[in-house]
Amino acid sequence: MPFESYKNSRILVTGGAGFIGSHICERLLDAGAEVVSADNYFTGSRRNIAHLIANPLFEAVRHDVTFPLYIEVDAIFNLACPASPIHYQRDPVQTTKTSVHGAINMLGLAKRLKARIFQASTSEVYGDPLIHPQTEDYWGNVNPIGIRSCYDEGKRCAETLFFDYWRQHGLPIKVARIFNTYGPRMQPNDGRVVSSFIVQALKDEPITVFGDGGQTRSFCYVDDLVEAIMRLMVTAEDVTGPINLGNNSEFTIRELAEKVIMLTGSRSKLVFKPLPQDDPRQRQPDLAKAKAVLNWEPKVALEDGLKETIAYFKRSLEIA
């Protein structure tokens, strides 16, 4: 039976206590779904879903996706995996297992249930890209043995598995390549550039810029991303992806740092450190496919999204 509506559906979100996963859980509940969050809390946080616990349609399960999960659901959002370099490099073998074994286990569950399944892939599958902006038909420029490879290649392998399940078993899949995303519920210590800059600025500490700050990123506010994911999941079965999701407004890292200093009123100064291994110089999505297929494009300007994110971190740091 095709999956057409979230209302009255029972939906599994792996990584449901994570930054993006918790926002997905929230949106699904708003749409009338019954939601099961599965998370091992390695990088996810109970705080992210604490406000949902009282909802009778929400259930939080402690589970590691590298082990099979036996549950009955109508659809699966697979978002379980550490997504920031600090976290995914802490235990690189486990990171690869989470992407690969996690995909195998969730695909096996979806196959048994004949359920639609979404895969949160990443712009990291493009590596340090040689074309700009990146389109979905670009195969990437990835170092298979570098310190980032556990994440990049794990996610590439997961995409392979998803498309093989689609071809071999006719499984309804949806694959999104998610570009840099920011917003409330990011962790203050995750090493991502937006959270790092905001926390340093709020504490009036020096802001650490790697390289000369001339490398570029495109930052998508989490609400925009979630809207795109929600739309992708209810598209026709012949829409498999991969589809780029993000924001195509490009900024240098230095511009981001200066914007954060301005918006926080911080006295922080910039300090420059060597660029980490395999850090991409440019990252910008081509969103033509998302616009055509989902009738979607990002709406939240960087400054507006940063204001919301700064307000969140101010509250979080006060609690801490």
Residues labelled catalytic = 151
| Strand partners of residue 181 | 220
Where on the phi/psi map is residue 56: left (φ > 0), alpha (ψ -120 to 50), or beta?
A: alpha
Q: Is the peptide bond before 184 cis (omega within 30 degrees of 0)?
A: no
Nearest to 75 by CA among 205, 235, 288, 214: 235
117 and 80 Cβ atoms separated by less than 8 Å: no
218 and 180 Cβ atoms separated by less than 8 Å: yes
Using CA atoms, how far apart are residues 45 and 82, in angstroms rounded to an integer?
12
Residue 290 token pair? 């998302």
Q: Is 39 helix (H, G, I), strand (E, B) or coil?
A: strand
Question: What is the bridge-based pairing of β-strands 181-182 and 220-221?
Answer: parallel
Using CA atoms, how far apart are residues 290 and 241, in angstroms rounded to an integer?
9
Using CA atoms, how far apart are residues 124 and 177, in angstroms rounded to an integer?
8
Q: Give how far Cα 218 sits from Cα of 54, 62, 302, Å.
A: 36, 33, 9
Using CA atoms, how far apart are residues 23 and 225, in angstroms rounded to an integer?
10
Quote the crossing angle between the two packed helices 92-113 and 149-169, to the nearest 10°: 20
